[in-house]
Amino acid sequence: MTTMNTDTVWAATRAERRRLVATLEGITPADWDAASLCAGWRVREVVAHLSLPYRYSGWAVARGLLGARGSFARFADRAARSDAAVLSDAQLLQALASNVEHPWRPPGGGPVGALSHDVIHGLDITEPLALEGPPVATIRHVLDGAGPRNLKFFGVDLHGHRLQATDTDWQLGEGDPVRLTAKEILLVITARTPLPGR
């Protein structure tokens, strides 16, 4: 794991938010209803989830967690589905576009956590729609913040394998080398796609 400059990461986060907004401005109504890489969520549910920190107060989140018996995953799923059902494409897009500069950070995640949230869920949208993803340098910031804790969170086992990026100087794990692009590696370690050969 590499120590990163907070200003650099924050600049990358703002740039990624702008990039994703511009991407969403160009998709069709059918695309908004297309399946994402998040199981059970369409593109609109992913955008609802991305914009949740900007639309919900701390009290609203606390109430939602209480109703979900303390499970953030359950709360987030319920919120994404209910919000996506009542908010229009334009409203969801506006929630992102008007909060590019928002200082939100996930609890315990810091600046890299905020960038990771935007990049990973952005890929949940752009990959199934065959749209351009983030630049390699942005993905590299996310990978630099990744480690065993993240693999455990996503339930990914790299035992006996070492992931090596082909488009930047980055690797993770020990064992037989698996050479992939930075984007492909991020999709593997977040359980969006399987490790090749498994």
Each residue of 124-183: pLDDT tens digit? 999 999 999 999 999 999 999 998 888 999 999 999 999 999 999 999 999 999 999 999
User: How far apart, in Å, are the Cα atoms of 71 and each of 61, 62, 120, 132, 173?
Assistant: 11, 11, 21, 33, 30
Domains of the chain, residue spans: 6-105
pLDDT exceeding 70 applies to what percent of the chain? 97
Q: Per residue in 68-98, pLDDT tens?
A: 999 999 999 999 999 999 999 999 999 999 9
Residue 107 banded pLDDT, cuts 50, 70, 90: confident
- Asked if 9 and 111 touch (Cβ cutoff 8 Å), the reply is yes
User: How far apart, in Å, are the Cα atoms of 35 and each of 75, 93, 124?
Assistant: 20, 17, 9
Count of C-beta atoms within a 10 Å radius of residue 43: 25
Count of C-beta atoms within a 10 Å radius of residue 97: 17
> How many residues are recorded in the chain?
198
- For the chain, the average pLDDT equals 95
pTM for the whole structure? 0.94
CA 184 from centroid of its chain's CA atoms: 14
